[in-house]
Structure 1
Amino acid sequence: MEFFDLIEQRYSMRGFEDKEVEQEKLDKVLKAAQLAPTGANFQPFKVVVIDTRKYKEELTAIYSPDWFTQAPIALCVLASKEKAWTRRYDNKNIADIDATIVMTHMILAAEDVGLNTCFIAAFKPDKAKEFLNLDDEWEAVLFTPLGYGNAEPRETPRKSIDELVIYK
Protein backbone atom coordinates (compact mmCIF):
# COMPACT_ATOMS: atom_id res chain seq x y z
CA MET A 1 0.00 0.00 0.00
CA GLU A 2 1.24 3.48 -0.79
CA PHE A 3 2.01 5.57 2.28
CA PHE A 4 -0.49 8.37 1.60
CA ASP A 5 -3.23 5.83 0.87
CA LEU A 6 -2.45 4.22 4.22
CA ILE A 7 -2.58 7.45 6.24
CA GLU A 8 -5.70 8.64 4.45
CA GLN A 9 -7.62 5.41 5.11
CA ARG A 10 -6.42 4.84 8.70
CA TYR A 11 -8.84 5.88 11.42
CA SER A 12 -9.40 5.21 15.11
CA MET A 13 -11.36 1.96 15.21
CA ARG A 14 -13.97 1.66 17.92
CA GLY A 15 -15.32 -1.84 17.28
CA PHE A 16 -13.59 -5.16 16.68
CA GLU A 17 -14.38 -8.65 15.41
CA ASP A 18 -13.87 -11.72 17.57
CA LYS A 19 -10.98 -12.86 15.39
CA GLU A 20 -7.43 -13.75 16.36
CA VAL A 21 -4.47 -11.73 15.10
CA GLU A 22 -1.98 -13.86 13.22
CA GLN A 23 1.45 -14.05 14.85
CA GLU A 24 3.10 -12.98 11.58
CA LYS A 25 1.11 -9.73 11.59
CA LEU A 26 1.79 -9.08 15.26
CA ASP A 27 5.49 -9.66 14.61
CA LYS A 28 5.47 -7.00 11.88
CA VAL A 29 3.76 -4.51 14.17
CA LEU A 30 6.35 -5.19 16.88
CA LYS A 31 9.17 -4.90 14.34
CA ALA A 32 7.87 -1.43 13.50
CA ALA A 33 8.28 -0.54 17.19
CA GLN A 34 11.84 -1.80 17.17
CA LEU A 35 12.63 0.33 14.09
CA ALA A 36 11.09 3.52 15.49
CA PRO A 37 13.52 6.41 15.88
CA THR A 38 14.14 7.64 19.43
CA GLY A 39 16.19 10.49 20.84
CA ALA A 40 19.92 9.66 20.50
CA ASN A 41 18.72 6.10 19.69
CA PHE A 42 18.45 5.42 23.43
CA GLN A 43 15.31 3.28 22.85
CA PRO A 44 13.83 4.03 26.31
CA PHE A 45 10.67 2.02 25.74
CA LYS A 46 9.04 -1.35 26.10
CA VAL A 47 5.92 -2.70 24.42
CA VAL A 48 3.54 -4.82 26.45
CA VAL A 49 1.38 -7.26 24.45
CA ILE A 50 -1.77 -8.00 26.45
CA ASP A 51 -4.28 -10.81 25.89
CA THR A 52 -7.58 -8.95 26.29
CA ARG A 53 -9.59 -12.11 26.95
CA LYS A 54 -7.34 -13.10 29.82
CA TYR A 55 -7.21 -9.60 31.32
CA LYS A 56 -10.57 -8.11 30.34
CA GLU A 57 -11.48 -7.05 33.88
CA GLU A 58 -8.12 -5.37 34.51
CA LEU A 59 -8.15 -3.61 31.14
CA THR A 60 -11.72 -2.40 31.68
CA ALA A 61 -10.58 -0.83 34.95
CA ILE A 62 -7.86 0.99 33.00
CA TYR A 63 -10.12 2.16 30.16
CA SER A 64 -13.81 1.30 30.22
CA PRO A 65 -15.33 1.46 26.69
CA ASP A 66 -16.44 -2.02 25.59
CA TRP A 67 -14.67 -1.85 22.24
CA PHE A 68 -11.25 -1.59 23.96
CA THR A 69 -11.39 -5.24 25.00
CA GLN A 70 -13.20 -6.53 21.88
CA ALA A 71 -9.90 -6.77 20.03
CA PRO A 72 -7.90 -9.88 20.99
CA ILE A 73 -4.80 -7.84 21.81
CA ALA A 74 -4.07 -4.56 23.53
CA LEU A 75 -0.65 -2.97 23.19
CA CYS A 76 0.84 -0.59 25.71
CA VAL A 77 3.97 1.48 25.19
CA LEU A 78 6.00 2.11 28.33
CA ALA A 79 8.64 4.82 28.63
CA SER A 80 11.56 5.30 30.99
CA LYS A 81 12.49 8.90 31.73
CA GLU A 82 15.70 7.55 33.27
CA LYS A 83 16.72 5.97 29.96
CA ALA A 84 15.43 8.70 27.62
CA TRP A 85 17.45 11.49 26.05
CA THR A 86 17.15 14.90 27.71
CA ARG A 87 17.75 18.18 25.91
CA ARG A 88 20.55 19.92 27.80
CA TYR A 89 19.40 23.48 27.16
CA ASP A 90 16.20 23.19 29.21
CA ASN A 91 16.26 19.61 30.55
CA LYS A 92 13.30 18.59 28.38
CA ASN A 93 13.03 14.81 28.70
CA ILE A 94 11.56 13.24 25.56
CA ALA A 95 10.43 9.86 26.91
CA ASP A 96 6.78 10.65 26.03
CA ILE A 97 7.77 11.76 22.55
CA ASP A 98 9.75 8.58 21.96
CA ALA A 99 6.83 6.45 23.19
CA THR A 100 4.46 8.31 20.88
CA ILE A 101 6.74 7.73 17.89
CA VAL A 102 6.87 4.02 18.76
CA MET A 103 3.07 3.80 19.00
CA THR A 104 2.66 5.69 15.74
CA HIS A 105 4.98 3.26 13.97
CA MET A 106 3.01 0.30 15.33
CA ILE A 107 -0.34 1.82 14.41
CA LEU A 108 0.74 2.54 10.85
CA ALA A 109 2.28 -0.93 10.52
CA ALA A 110 -0.97 -2.45 11.80
CA GLU A 111 -2.93 -0.61 9.14
CA ASP A 112 -0.47 -1.77 6.51
CA VAL A 113 -1.04 -5.45 7.41
CA GLY A 114 -4.83 -5.08 7.57
CA LEU A 115 -5.30 -4.58 11.31
CA ASN A 116 -6.99 -1.74 13.12
CA THR A 117 -6.10 0.34 16.17
CA CYS A 118 -7.02 3.39 18.23
CA PHE A 119 -4.63 5.67 20.15
CA ILE A 120 -5.68 5.68 23.80
CA ALA A 121 -4.23 8.25 26.16
CA ALA A 122 -7.39 8.77 28.26
CA PHE A 123 -6.74 5.81 30.54
CA LYS A 124 -6.34 5.64 34.32
CA PRO A 125 -2.57 5.74 34.88
CA ASP A 126 -2.74 4.43 38.44
CA LYS A 127 -4.71 1.34 37.32
CA ALA A 128 -2.28 0.78 34.42
CA LYS A 129 0.73 1.03 36.73
CA GLU A 130 -0.84 -1.46 39.13
CA PHE A 131 -1.88 -3.94 36.41
CA LEU A 132 1.46 -3.78 34.62
CA ASN A 133 3.34 -3.96 37.92
CA LEU A 134 5.50 -0.96 37.03
CA ASP A 135 8.13 0.50 39.28
CA ASP A 136 8.77 4.25 39.35
CA GLU A 137 11.14 4.07 36.38
CA TRP A 138 8.47 2.99 33.88
CA GLU A 139 5.35 4.85 32.82
CA ALA A 140 2.49 3.63 30.63
CA VAL A 141 2.17 6.31 27.93
CA LEU A 142 -0.29 4.95 25.36
CA PHE A 143 -2.52 1.94 24.73
CA THR A 144 -4.17 0.63 21.59
CA PRO A 145 -6.45 -2.29 20.88
CA LEU A 146 -5.12 -4.39 17.99
CA GLY A 147 -7.41 -6.48 15.84
CA TYR A 148 -9.82 -6.63 12.94
CA GLY A 149 -12.20 -3.70 13.03
CA ASN A 150 -15.90 -3.86 12.36
CA ALA A 151 -17.04 -0.29 12.97
CA GLU A 152 -17.60 2.47 10.45
CA PRO A 153 -15.25 5.45 10.62
CA ARG A 154 -16.52 8.60 12.27
CA GLU A 155 -16.32 11.93 10.52
CA THR A 156 -12.99 13.52 11.39
CA PRO A 157 -12.83 16.93 9.76
CA ARG A 158 -9.36 18.37 9.40
CA LYS A 159 -8.28 21.98 9.59
CA SER A 160 -6.91 23.47 6.39
CA ILE A 161 -3.18 23.47 5.71
CA ASP A 162 -3.27 27.27 6.08
CA GLU A 163 -4.56 26.90 9.66
CA LEU A 164 -1.88 24.38 10.57
CA VAL A 165 1.29 25.54 8.83
CA ILE A 166 3.39 28.62 9.51
CA TYR A 167 6.01 29.69 7.02
CA LYS A 168 8.80 31.95 8.23
Structure 2
Amino acid sequence: MNFLELVKERRSVRAYLPREVEAEKIDYLLECGRLAPSACNRQPWRLIVVRDEARRKALRTAYDREWFGQAPVCIVVCVDDSEAWTRSCDGRCHSDVDAAIVAEHLVLAAAEQGLGCCWVCAFDPARCTEALGIEAPLRPVALLPIGYPAPAAASPKNRKPTDEIVKEL
Protein backbone atom coordinates (compact mmCIF):
# COMPACT_ATOMS: atom_id res chain seq x y z
CA MET A 1 0.00 0.00 0.00
CA ASN A 2 1.43 3.41 -0.90
CA PHE A 3 1.22 6.42 1.39
CA LEU A 4 -1.87 7.95 -0.24
CA GLU A 5 -3.71 4.64 0.05
CA LEU A 6 -2.72 4.44 3.72
CA VAL A 7 -3.97 7.96 4.39
CA LYS A 8 -7.24 7.18 2.63
CA GLU A 9 -7.58 3.95 4.62
CA ARG A 10 -7.01 5.55 8.06
CA ARG A 11 -10.16 6.32 10.01
CA SER A 12 -11.07 7.45 13.51
CA VAL A 13 -12.18 4.23 15.19
CA ARG A 14 -14.63 4.40 18.08
CA ALA A 15 -15.44 0.70 18.61
CA TYR A 16 -12.94 -2.07 19.28
CA LEU A 17 -13.01 -5.85 19.34
CA PRO A 18 -12.23 -7.56 22.66
CA ARG A 19 -8.89 -8.76 21.29
CA GLU A 20 -5.41 -8.07 22.62
CA VAL A 21 -2.92 -6.28 20.41
CA GLU A 22 0.31 -8.19 19.85
CA ALA A 23 3.37 -6.74 21.58
CA GLU A 24 5.23 -6.77 18.25
CA LYS A 25 2.66 -4.44 16.73
CA ILE A 26 2.88 -1.99 19.64
CA ASP A 27 6.67 -2.14 19.38
CA TYR A 28 6.38 -1.36 15.67
CA LEU A 29 4.17 1.67 16.38
CA LEU A 30 6.57 2.93 19.02
CA GLU A 31 9.52 2.64 16.65
CA CYS A 32 7.59 4.60 14.02
CA GLY A 33 6.89 7.26 16.65
CA ARG A 34 10.49 7.31 17.85
CA LEU A 35 11.63 8.15 14.33
CA ALA A 36 9.24 11.12 13.95
CA PRO A 37 10.80 14.49 13.18
CA SER A 38 10.73 17.34 15.67
CA ALA A 39 11.77 20.99 15.65
CA CYS A 40 15.59 21.11 15.84
CA ASN A 41 15.48 17.35 16.60
CA ARG A 42 14.70 18.06 20.27
CA GLN A 43 12.31 15.07 20.55
CA PRO A 44 10.48 16.51 23.59
CA TRP A 45 7.89 13.74 23.65
CA ARG A 46 7.41 10.79 25.95
CA LEU A 47 5.04 7.96 25.13
CA ILE A 48 3.21 6.16 27.91
CA VAL A 49 1.79 2.79 26.86
CA VAL A 50 -1.19 1.83 29.00
CA ARG A 51 -2.11 -1.85 28.73
CA ASP A 52 -3.09 -2.60 32.32
CA GLU A 53 -6.88 -2.78 32.66
CA ALA A 54 -6.96 -0.95 36.01
CA ARG A 55 -4.86 1.90 34.61
CA ARG A 56 -7.02 2.10 31.51
CA LYS A 57 -10.08 2.28 33.73
CA ALA A 58 -8.46 5.07 35.77
CA LEU A 59 -7.69 6.87 32.52
CA ARG A 60 -11.42 7.00 31.79
CA THR A 61 -11.70 9.63 34.52
CA ALA A 62 -9.96 11.92 32.02
CA TYR A 63 -12.12 10.88 29.04
CA ASP A 64 -15.24 8.97 30.01
CA ARG A 65 -16.54 7.41 26.82
CA GLU A 66 -17.69 3.79 26.63
CA TRP A 67 -15.89 3.16 23.35
CA PHE A 68 -12.65 4.57 24.78
CA GLY A 69 -12.65 1.87 27.44
CA GLN A 70 -12.96 -0.87 24.80
CA ALA A 71 -9.46 -0.30 23.38
CA PRO A 72 -6.98 -2.78 24.91
CA VAL A 73 -4.12 -0.29 24.63
CA CYS A 74 -3.83 3.47 24.98
CA ILE A 75 -0.73 5.44 24.12
CA VAL A 76 -0.57 8.76 25.94
CA VAL A 77 1.53 11.31 24.08
CA CYS A 78 3.23 13.66 26.53
CA VAL A 79 5.71 16.49 26.08
CA ASP A 80 8.27 18.27 28.16
CA ASP A 81 7.97 21.93 27.14
CA SER A 82 11.43 22.66 28.57
CA GLU A 83 12.98 20.26 26.03
CA ALA A 84 11.15 21.67 23.03
CA TRP A 85 12.53 24.18 20.56
CA THR A 86 11.22 27.74 20.89
CA ARG A 87 11.18 30.13 17.94
CA SER A 88 13.25 33.18 18.90
CA CYS A 89 11.36 35.82 16.91
CA ASP A 90 8.06 35.31 18.74
CA GLY A 91 8.75 32.90 21.61
CA ARG A 92 6.49 30.18 20.15
CA CYS A 93 7.22 26.82 21.79
CA HIS A 94 6.83 23.93 19.34
CA SER A 95 6.13 21.14 21.84
CA ASP A 96 2.51 20.72 20.73
CA VAL A 97 3.58 20.64 17.07
CA ASP A 98 6.16 17.97 17.88
CA ALA A 99 3.57 15.98 19.86
CA ALA A 100 1.18 16.17 16.91
CA ILE A 101 3.84 14.84 14.55
CA VAL A 102 4.70 11.85 16.73
CA ALA A 103 0.98 11.17 17.33
CA GLU A 104 0.29 11.15 13.61
CA HIS A 105 3.17 8.75 13.01
CA LEU A 106 1.59 6.43 15.60
CA VAL A 107 -1.90 6.77 14.12
CA LEU A 108 -0.71 6.01 10.58
CA ALA A 109 1.45 3.11 11.75
CA ALA A 110 -1.60 1.68 13.54
CA ALA A 111 -3.65 1.88 10.34
CA GLU A 112 -0.84 0.23 8.37
CA GLN A 113 -0.81 -2.64 10.90
CA GLY A 114 -4.58 -3.18 10.58
CA LEU A 115 -5.29 -1.55 13.93
CA GLY A 116 -7.84 1.10 14.75
CA CYS A 117 -7.08 4.33 16.56
CA CYS A 118 -8.75 7.61 17.37
CA TRP A 119 -6.81 10.75 18.19
CA VAL A 120 -8.34 12.11 21.43
CA CYS A 121 -7.58 15.67 22.52
CA ALA A 122 -10.87 16.44 24.33
CA PHE A 123 -9.72 14.97 27.63
CA ASP A 124 -8.92 16.42 31.05
CA PRO A 125 -5.11 16.63 31.27
CA ALA A 126 -5.12 17.04 35.06
CA ARG A 127 -7.16 13.87 35.55
CA CYS A 128 -4.96 12.03 33.05
CA THR A 129 -1.86 13.15 34.95
CA GLU A 130 -3.36 12.00 38.24
CA ALA A 131 -4.66 8.67 36.90
CA LEU A 132 -1.29 7.68 35.48
CA GLY A 133 1.00 9.39 37.98
CA ILE A 134 2.62 11.51 35.28
CA GLU A 135 5.28 13.67 36.86
CA ALA A 136 6.18 17.24 35.95
CA PRO A 137 7.49 18.54 33.69
CA LEU A 138 5.64 16.08 31.41
CA ARG A 139 2.30 17.26 30.07
CA PRO A 140 -0.20 14.93 28.32
CA VAL A 141 -1.25 16.19 24.90
CA ALA A 142 -3.14 13.34 23.22
CA LEU A 143 -4.68 9.98 24.02
CA LEU A 144 -4.44 7.31 21.33
CA PRO A 145 -6.70 4.31 22.06
CA ILE A 146 -5.52 1.40 19.92
CA GLY A 147 -7.06 -1.95 19.11
CA TYR A 148 -8.63 -4.06 16.43
CA PRO A 149 -11.60 -2.17 15.01
CA ALA A 150 -15.08 -3.62 15.36
CA PRO A 151 -16.91 -3.98 12.04
CA ALA A 152 -18.16 -0.62 10.74
CA ALA A 153 -16.45 1.14 13.65
CA ALA A 154 -14.76 3.87 11.65
CA SER A 155 -16.12 7.34 11.12
CA PRO A 156 -16.44 8.31 7.46
CA LYS A 157 -14.04 10.89 6.11
CA ASN A 158 -15.47 14.27 5.26
CA ARG A 159 -12.80 16.51 3.77
CA LYS A 160 -12.90 19.92 2.15
CA PRO A 161 -12.08 20.02 -1.55
CA THR A 162 -8.52 20.95 -2.51
CA ASP A 163 -9.49 24.37 -3.88
CA GLU A 164 -10.79 25.38 -0.42
CA ILE A 165 -7.55 24.59 1.39
CA VAL A 166 -4.79 25.26 -1.15
CA LYS A 167 -3.65 28.64 -2.43
CA GLU A 168 -0.96 28.82 -5.07
CA LEU A 169 1.05 31.98 -5.53
> TM range, normalised to the smaller chain?
over 0.9
Instruction: Answer yes or no: is the 8 Å Cα contact 2:16–2:67 preserved in 1.
Output: yes
C-alpha deviations, 1:92-127, integer Å up to 9, x for none?
A: 000000001000001101111111100000001110
Write out the 4+ residue segments of structure 1 that deviate beyond 6 Å after TM superposition: none
Q: Secondary structure at the match of 2:143?
A: strand
Mapping 1:8-47, distance limit 5 Å: 8-47=8-47
For structure 1, list consecutive stretches of 5 or more residues without a partner in the other structure: none
How many Å separate the matches in 1 of 2:56 and 2:86? 36
Query: Which residue of 2 is the match for residue 71 of structure 1?
Result: 71
Query: Which residue of 2 is the match for residue 164 of structure 1?
Result: 165
Structure 1 vs Structure 2: percent identity of aligned residues? 35
For structure 2, list consecutive stretches of 5 or more residues without a partner in the other structure: none
How many Å separate the matches in 2 of 1:139 and 1:93? 14
TM-score by length of 2: 0.95
Q: Secondary structure at the match of 2:82?
A: coil
CA shift at 1:52, angstroms? 5.2
Q: Secondary structure at the match of 1:159?
A: coil
How many Å separate the matches in 2 of 1:133 and 1:75? 15
Instruction: Answer yes or no: is the 8 Å Cα contact 2:50–2:56 preserved in 1.
Output: no
CA shift at 1:60, angstroms? 1.4
CA RMSD of aligned residues (A): 1.2
How many Å separate the matches in 2 of 1:25 and 1:157? 28
C-alpha deviations, 1:71-92, integer Å up to 9, x for none?
A: 1100110001100000011010
1:48 aligns with 2:48: yes
User: Comparing 129-138 with 9-18, which one deviates more in the overlay?
Assistant: 129-138
Instruction: Give the letter aligned to residue 87 of structure 2.
Output: R
Distance change (3 Å), C-alpha of 1:128 and 1:83: same
Query: Which residue of 2 is the match for residue 100 of structure 1?
Result: 100
User: Comparing 87-96 with 156-165, which one deviates more in the overlay?
Assistant: 156-165
TM-score by length of 1: 0.95
